[in-house]
Structure 1
Amino acid sequence: MKNIIFYLCLMAVLTTGCTKGFQELNRDPTKANEDNMDPNNLFTAGQLNYGNITEFQLYELAPMVQVLASTAIQTSYSAGDKYSSQLFSYNDRFFDDGQTAAGLFAEAQSLAEKKDPDKYANLIQVSRIMRVMAMQRITDVYGDIPYFQKNGTLYPKYDLQADIYKDMLATLEDAAEKLDPKKDKVAGDMFYDGDTEKWKRLSYSFMLRVAMRLTKADPATARLYAEKTKDKTFKDFTDNAILKFDGNADERKNKSANSWFGDAVTFGQVRWSKTFIDFMKNSDDPRLYLITEKADTGMRYNNDLSRPALGYTKVNPAPPGKINEVPMGMPNGYDINGVRSIETAAAYPGATGTKDNVSPLGNYARPLARVFAQPNFPSFVITYAETELLLAEAKVRGWDVGTVSAQDHYKNGLVFAMKSLEQLNGMLTMGGEVETFANAHPLDESSQAKALEMINSQYWVATLFDFVETWANYRRSGYPILTPVNYPGNRTNGVIPRRLNYPNREAAYNSVNYNDAVGRLGGNDLDLTKRVWWDK
């Protein structure tokens, strides 16, 4: 069993801590006593791994889709903001983390089938569902990947993404139909506490996500499976799948949030992107003032995340702790005193502080650190709002996904993308302005193109902090329309990357299968403008 020491130790962390009984855990993995292992614990460990997305999504993907921006150079954040060579240094985490999660779910299923397939009937099916979820994330980032081989295969071949997608859709449908509320609940389920009805709705909601990825590559299959989800997806936002963290052990800290506090100097060069802020500003989106803050004056306070920041407000005069300003996003593709200094950007708002305490980015809006940079900040896995927006698109395409109109699905997507934020933190609560906003911005169905742009632009906002999904849906839909940056020396000739290259070690350790997959890309794995199969 691949990674047996890792997940046995993690199981111990979830229960008694990893030091107790360590000698027993640290035995030869080929001799592990399966009789003493609970497959539910493997499933729990897999949920933690999958739901806790690597912090490299912040460094690479969030700036690519112009939600975040950074002035950093020669560091991780330059990878996505400037399409720099750093992309080739931090390209393996999605592959490794995804394989670990998928392996845990595969082992949970295998062990459950060996021990008692009737007792663990529901565990087997939710493990199948979540393995699909983990594998979709990997294939969306890289393209063709090992998928069909048994977990732990030494030199796995890279399967075609087209074949992977067909199997994922069939697996989700089959697993959903085999869930049985009359049989034992899944113990240790961190999303739904073993509620099989919610799991069934999750499976169909995820099936919709997978199906909609094929609207360009295989529209017939996309429609077939989207229509299979009719009246079976999430009912409301209480169905949201959320992974919660206690912020104590490393496995129980939000990786993305924790990375910000762990590297406050780098975070000091991160701001909301101008593209993202302007999108909300242009529609007077109530989230604009909710998720932003302004660092207190000067560089020392800019880099001290424990220092209270200033909230933005429309109220004049502003109450204590707030400032009467409209949040301003920072353009992507700039640096500080380098080849493209932020001071040369159009409408540069100037610095805060003086002399040796100057903060060049101090007037740009940053993410709300006292919420988003906390290690116990929860993580959405998949939500009702996202699902409703995809159903709106399916309706606009004329597909039979139920009697609810595209207009109403779209409104639900808007409303509950905002209301769901309350589930993450009470500071993200909005009142009646949510309905007011949704009523003032109905779906424009004057043309299919306009409707698709509105739906997928809102999906861009609704998938906040699941940037693998944000990036994938942007590539699939083409929305929002983004203007790439062309920072000097970038590695894509000013094109937003369409995939990441495979982990560097694959060329050495699995060369035959790696070269076969790269050959299907035209022979150059480092050309990040090559598109995966569904990205036509």
Structure 2
Amino acid sequence: MKRNSKIIILLSVIIISVTGCIKDSLNIDPTRSNEENFDPNYLLTTAQMDYGNATEFQLYEMGGMVQIIASTLDYYSGGDKYSISLTSYNDRFFTNGLQGAARLLEAQKLAEKKDAVNNVNLIQIARIMWVMTMQRVTDIYGDIPYAEAGMAKYGIQYPKYDKQEDIYKDMLTRLEDAINKLDATKPGPAGDIIYNGNITQWKKLGYSLMLRIAMRLVKVDAALAKTYAEKAAGKTFTDINDNAILPLDGGSNEATQNRISNALLNDLPQVRWASTFINYLKENDDPRLYTLTEKADTGLANNNQIGKGGLQYTKQANPPAGSVNEVPVGMPNGYTIGGVRDIATAPGYPGVTGTGANASPLGNYARPRLAVFVTKRSLSKYLITYAQTELLIAEAKLRGWNMGAETAAQHYKNGLTASLQSMQQLDGMLAISIPDITAYVATRPLDISTNEKALNMINTEYWASTLFDLPEVWANYRRSGYPALVPVNFPGNITGATIPRRLTYPLGENANNRDNYQSALQRMGGSDLTTTRIWWDK
């Protein structure tokens, strides 16, 4: 099954070059791609890849905002220090997201035209993926082109921006309709690289997505959130085998390699786990502290040599070769090497490794394990997980909603357990033993003495569990307010030393779709700012 998925992935890289032919309906040459001979499965595959293997710019911008990673590199400064560079890469999620949505729309149209009955599952899965894609875009920007997005082929060159409130209401009804129309008696789409056409799994994913969308609304429309959360109750993921995972390929084609790994391949010398993230793991004696981290070997030369494996942290008093008996130290956000906020001046700075010209200023900070997150570019990516879903159910139960018989504490336990268990699904090197998981979870029952304490535990664990789906980490942080991150106050920052609440629109929108762009800005106060809160972020 996995082998077949990888073959489909490799096929998908041709789609970008041929979809333009569809737009023009080139029917003169029958050997060229057109609506009659083009397989919409290819568009589904490409769109799934677009969504799951989202741009590496999430690492540069959102990784630092949510304090999962920290970096002294200039092009990470937008997220790490809220610098003006935050507006330099702001187009990627907008453009890539809307392009992915357009492919999904075209997949639906082609599938309907060819055989709407037998292609029913391709059509509905494309609709579910369309909702996933558009949710990410609106969560990042606020009001966006939605109802008219991807309609250039049908004469809409300048799509209007819809209100986020309207978008969210439509996503819920559209998603419910798509789930209800999935038909297990009909074939699954050949282009599905997530579940290989398993319709039962897609129904579970649909309801897990419904819960995620509903929970975004708890501050602005609690009644609607409750209605749809309760509709999803009992129909979501039931264990880690339901996790929606995008398989990737470690071959020579960059289109099918893990984009985060590709970025870290060049950036790891100046990228570290953030102190906020490491301190959370450390304070709770979390076993992930030792599976996710490593220390660069001594000195600047070893630190900068990507092919040079690091030292594994261990609690053993007499560590074996290749290990070090130290507790991982995270790097604080908001520092540079030299300059106005030199990392050497950071509180608790652990010092350099190496000496003289070979001194490494970041050498004592914990970095992502090179053999997992960097050199293994086939590392799969989570889209939606059982752990995330159980944590959201725990919050819904805490709010008194009808989510089934289990308590909020039990759903929290399920989510925490699943988060640790599912690490091995990404890579065997991240595996944590069942006895260690059981022992750890027993020490971390949900504190329900106050709602605030319980919400903090639930959503801080969501933050830690979601890891490198950084748009989702950022969205749930803004929605919930947890964890209680302390903003960076780097000189010259553009947010008034506050964590950004949205990305600004691409500059080209003002030139190419000015009237609709300006209308959207007026609804958000008249200015395109990273500090403006989107509709559900109250």
Q: TM-score, normalised by structure 2?
A: 0.94
Q: CA RMSD in A?
A: 1.8
**Quick one: distance in 1 between partners of 2:75 and 2:398?**
39
Q: Any conservation in 1 of the 2:138–2:164 contact (CA below 8 Å)?
A: yes
**Quick one: distance in 2 between partners of 1:218 and 1:17?**
41
Residues 150, 134 of structure 1: alpha-carbon distance in 2 compared, 3 angstrom cutoff: closer
Residue 267 of structure 1 deviates from its aligned partner by 2.4
Residue 111 of structure 1: aligned partner: 110
**Quick one: distance in 2 between partners of 1:391 and 1:420?**
18
Point out where structure 2 has 5 or more consecutive residues left out of the alignment.
Answer: 1-5, 27-32
Aligned residue pairs total: 519
Residues 400, 523 of structure 1: alpha-carbon distance in 2 compared, 3 angstrom cutoff: same
Matching residue's letter, 2:264: W
Q: Any conservation in 1 of the 2:25–2:35 contact (CA below 8 Å)?
A: no
Residue 160 of structure 2: aligned partner: 157
Residue 40 of structure 1 deviates from its aligned partner by 1.2
Tell me the secondary structure at the aligned position of residue 382 of structure 2: strand
Residue 381 of structure 1 deviates from its aligned partner by 0.5
Residue 262 of structure 2: aligned partner: 258
Residue 426 of structure 2: aligned partner: 424
Could you give the per-residue CA deviations for residues 404-451 of structure 1, whole angstroms, max 9, x where no partner exists? Answer: 111111011101111111000000001111111111110011111110
Residues 11, 505 of structure 1: alpha-carbon distance in 2 compared, 3 angstrom cutoff: farther
**Quick one: distance in 1 between partners of 2:284 and 2:206?**
33
Residues 277, 251 of structure 1: alpha-carbon distance in 2 compared, 3 angstrom cutoff: same
Could you give the per-residue CA deviations for residues 221-246 of structure 1, whole angstroms, max 9, x where no partner exists? Answer: 11010000111000111000101111
**Quick one: distance in 2 between partners of 1:298 and 1:281?**
25
Matching residue's letter, 1:325: E
- Which among 226, 238, 262 is matched to residue 223 of structure 1? 226
Residues 16, 477 of structure 1: alpha-carbon distance in 2 compared, 3 angstrom cutoff: closer
Is residue 2:525 matched to residue 1:522? yes
Matching residue's letter, 1:130: M
Residue 93 of structure 2: aligned partner: 94
Could you give the per-residue CA deviations for residues 384-413 of structure 1, whole angstroms, max 9, x where no partner exists? Answer: 000000000000000001111111110111
- 1:390-409 superposed matches below 5 A: 390-409=392-411
Residue 6 of structure 1: aligned partner: none
- 1:336-485 superposed matches below 5 A: 336-373=337-374, 374-431=376-433, 432-485=435-488
Residue 305 of structure 2: aligned partner: 304
Matching residue's letter, 1:274: S
**Quick one: distance in 2 between partners of 1:346 and 1:16?**
48
Tell me the secondary structure at the aligned position of residue 50 of structure 1: helix
Q: Any conservation in 2 of the 1:11–1:45 contact (CA below 8 Å)?
A: no
Tell me the secondary structure at the aligned position of residue 271 of structure 1: strand
**Quick one: distance in 1 between partners of 2:426 and 2:118?**
34
Is residue 2:503 matched to residue 1:507? no
Residue 279 of structure 2: aligned partner: 278
Residue 530 of structure 1 deviates from its aligned partner by 0.5
Q: Any conservation in 2 of the 1:254–1:375 contact (CA below 8 Å)?
A: yes
Could you give the per-residue CA deviations for residues 13-64 of structure 1, whole angstroms, max 9, x where no partner exists? Answer: 7339759xx8998697342521101111111111111110110110000100
Residues 150, 101 of structure 1: alpha-carbon distance in 2 compared, 3 angstrom cutoff: closer
Residues 180, 364 of structure 1: alpha-carbon distance in 2 compared, 3 angstrom cutoff: same
Tell me the secondary structure at the aligned position of residue 144 of structure 2: coil
Q: Any conservation in 2 of the 1:11–1:41 contact (CA below 8 Å)?
A: no
Q: Any conservation in 2 of the 1:289–1:313 contact (CA below 8 Å)?
A: yes
Residue 135 of structure 1 deviates from its aligned partner by 0.2
**Quick one: distance in 1 between partners of 2:276 and 2:18?**
53
Residue 189 of structure 1: aligned partner: 192
Q: Structure 1 stretch 62-71 or stretch 247-256: which is displaced more?
A: 247-256
Residue 350 of structure 1 deviates from its aligned partner by 0.4
Tell me the secondary structure at the aligned position of residue 383 of structure 2: strand
Matching residue's letter, 2:59: L
Tell me the secondary structure at the aligned position of residue 522 of structure 1: coil
**Quick one: distance in 2 between partners of 1:90 and 1:386?**
28
Residue 3 of structure 1: aligned partner: none
Residue 377 of structure 1 deviates from its aligned partner by 1.0
Q: Any conservation in 2 of the 1:11–1:42 contact (CA below 8 Å)?
A: no
Could you give the per-residue CA deviations for residues 295-351 of structure 1, whole angstroms, max 9, x where no partner exists? Answer: 011111111121010010001111111100000001111111110111111111100
Residue 173 of structure 1: aligned partner: 176
- Which among 202, 211, 214 is matched to residue 214 of structure 2? 211
Residue 11 of structure 1 deviates from its aligned partner by 11
Q: Any conservation in 2 of the 1:192–1:199 contact (CA below 8 Å)?
A: yes
Point out where structure 1 has 5 or more consecutive residues left out of the alignment.
Answer: 1-9
**Quick one: distance in 1 between partners of 2:231 and 2:457?**
25
Residues 71, 481 of structure 1: alpha-carbon distance in 2 compared, 3 angstrom cutoff: same
Q: Any conservation in 1 of the 2:21–2:34 contact (CA below 8 Å)?
A: no
**Quick one: distance in 2 between partners of 1:328 and 1:221?**
43
**Quick one: distance in 1 between partners of 2:22 and 2:207?**
40
Q: Any conservation in 1 of the 2:295–2:310 contact (CA below 8 Å)?
A: yes
Tell me the secondary structure at the aligned position of residue 35 of structure 1: coil
Matching residue's letter, 1:320: A
Q: Any conservation in 1 of the 2:329–2:364 contact (CA below 8 Å)?
A: yes
Residue 173 of structure 1 deviates from its aligned partner by 1.0
**Quick one: distance in 2 between partners of 1:421 and 1:320?**
25
Could you give the per-residue CA deviations for residues 452-501 of structure 1, whole angstroms, max 9, x where no partner exists? Answer: 00000000001110000000000000000010010000111100000000
Could you give the per-residue CA deviations for residues 142-195 of structure 1, whole angstroms, max 9, x where no partner exists? Answer: 000000015223101100000000011111111111111101111121111111
Q: Any conservation in 2 of the 1:83–1:490 contact (CA below 8 Å)?
A: yes
Q: TM-score, normalised by structure 1?
A: 0.94
Is residue 2:283 matched to residue 1:288? no
Tell me the secondary structure at the aligned position of residue 80 of structure 1: helix
Residue 251 of structure 1 deviates from its aligned partner by 1.6
- 1:113-132 superposed matches below 5 A: 113-132=112-131
Q: Any conservation in 2 of the 1:12–1:18 contact (CA below 8 Å)?
A: no
Tell me the secondary structure at the aligned position of residue 242 of structure 1: strand
Residue 77 of structure 1: aligned partner: 76
Residue 365 of structure 1 deviates from its aligned partner by 0.3
Tell me the secondary structure at the aligned position of residue 76 of structure 1: helix
**Quick one: distance in 1 between partners of 2:173 and 2:443?**
40
Query: Alignment identity in percent?
Result: 54
Residues 226, 23 of structure 1: alpha-carbon distance in 2 compared, 3 angstrom cutoff: closer
Tell me the secondary structure at the aligned position of residue 36 of structure 2: helix
Residue 284 of structure 1 deviates from its aligned partner by 0.1
